[in-house]
Chains A and B, each alone.
Chain A
């Protein structure tokens, strides 16, 4: 993943010599393409303001990455597209009527503080876009949770509360509205259909594996069934899964390569952990949503999970004793 296209590898490295034409740039392009349907629907629903929010947030992310690297005399990495993806994820997490400067400030925080100060791409300890979203959520909680102006004229459901808030208050949500984006919410999370189209594209291209999203969503579903207070009511559980940022978070943020475990078992533990956290935040927390916090807490414990789930290399573990014995015998024979 990390090979640079334009840099030829002349140095000799140890095995395994796996060749791949996958580059960061290609992966990031795929992720950006996968987010386009949701972005397009958000812009269609919320109009020019949403379009400008996306454009300005992405621009702020790319420019701050360029400026930081230029000032610090580091190689400029804006062409790998990771800043674009960070900006896009952040913009899609914004309520539609947000003042432009708030997501732009978030972009600068994501790129400079969370990503570059820790060493640039691949070194960030949590998902930059999510960290920036939480930063903004804590700092500007009023503007960040204001969905009252979500709908332009002509829509029927002009209510300020998001479906999750309605569900939490004991009301009902419409699954079809959730599916087609007929709800108040952030720019990118409103339509499950559009998000799933993007997710399917990523899965087909092999950019992400289904493991984390599937286990994550399943855990949340089971948790809501157990503790949601309405039993295993399928319609309710489906609404809980489709509402809020769960689908978006599961496919686009919890699958980030840098901040999630790479071992298969570790990925499952990670997904279960963030699923439980999301459920706890949703059911017992003060606010209706908890996906962002759950994922960044998961990001922080990812290294620990990885350390605990290191796979046994060939020749170690159960057969180590036998191998050792054989090697000792061989040595003896050599003498």
Chain B
């Protein structure tokens, strides 16, 4: 936990898992997880783009003007996605055919834009790459697990090997409703097991955060915090004032003198 690079990876996989905790990138999550291998392929493709987009954007963060940063990010991301798409077309043709339109759609994946905006734009290149690895692996794990469950119940197979006879397949699970059901169940499970995550703090931690004026359940780097950063700072100052009125009064007195 002491190593901040390792901390980013742990944060991506468990604490701020993009799928089960911050619920980003729902479109590929729901659409491409009809089987474990599809989910895994989608996850890996996204991870590759995420690592390099984070790396490049963090490296360019001082050059990109504030006002046009979103178009600039999109150019970076889109180039990377095109590379990944062409590589997949060349070397993993079956997966490329199954995922179809969802590969070019990685460009508009919320996770990638979100990490670029919330993390890579403010941190060093190496840290951002680690953040990309963590987030990407978290996404890949989540998609593979969802795909595994859907494939097992809906098509009766595990990574393509059929283990349940045809009559007992619950077909709905390989269709759209099954994606929602499995995602909801896994998210509920994650909440129930109290896996330590951004939205799942202990009561004591929540109270502590409340006292500090931060929104409960967040490391202070989520989109919500970024939007309300000024308010939070104001609140903190107010709280500090409330905590130590004497010192302030003393300071004022000092100023008067």
- Chain A interface residues (CB < 8 Å from chain B): 99, 105, 113, 135, 138-141, 143
Contacts and interface: CB of A to CB of B under 8 A. Distances in A.
B87 interface: no
Nearest to B174: A139
Looking at A99, A105, A135, the one whose CB has the most chain B CB atoms below 10 A away is A135
Interface string B156-177: 0000000000010111110101
Nearest to A135: B172
B170 A139 contact: yes
B22 interface: no
A138 B174 CA distance: 11
A100 to B, nearest CB: 13
Contacts of B175: 138
B229 interface: no
Nearest to A99: B167
Instruction: Specify the main secondary structure of chain A where it touches its partner.
Output: helix
Contacts, number: 18
B181 interface: yes
Nearest to A141: B171
A7 B45 CA distance: 59
A138 B181 CA distance: 14
A140 B173 CA distance: 11
A102 B53 CA distance: 48
Nearest to B169: A139
A141 B171 CA distance: 9
A139 B172 contact: yes
A107 to B, nearest CB: 14
A106 to B, nearest CB: 11
B182 to A, nearest CB: 12
B177 A113 contact: no
A113 B181 contact: yes
A113 B188 CA distance: 13
A105 B168 CA distance: 11
A261 B173 CA distance: 31
18 contacts: A99-B167, A105-B170, A113-B181, A135-B172, A135-B177, A138-B171, A138-B172, A138-B175, A138-B177, A139-B169, A139-B170, A139-B171, A139-B172, A139-B173, A140-B170, A140-B171, A141-B171, A143-B167
The 9 closest A-B pairs by CB, nearest first: A139-B172, A139-B171, A139-B170, A138-B172, A135-B172, A138-B171, A138-B175, A140-B171, A141-B171
Nearest to B168: A101
Contacts of A139: 169-173
B173 to A, nearest CB: 8
A15 B212 CA distance: 45
Nearest to B171: A139
A131 to B, nearest CB: 10
Contacts of A143: 167
A190 B173 CA distance: 31
Contacts of B169: 139
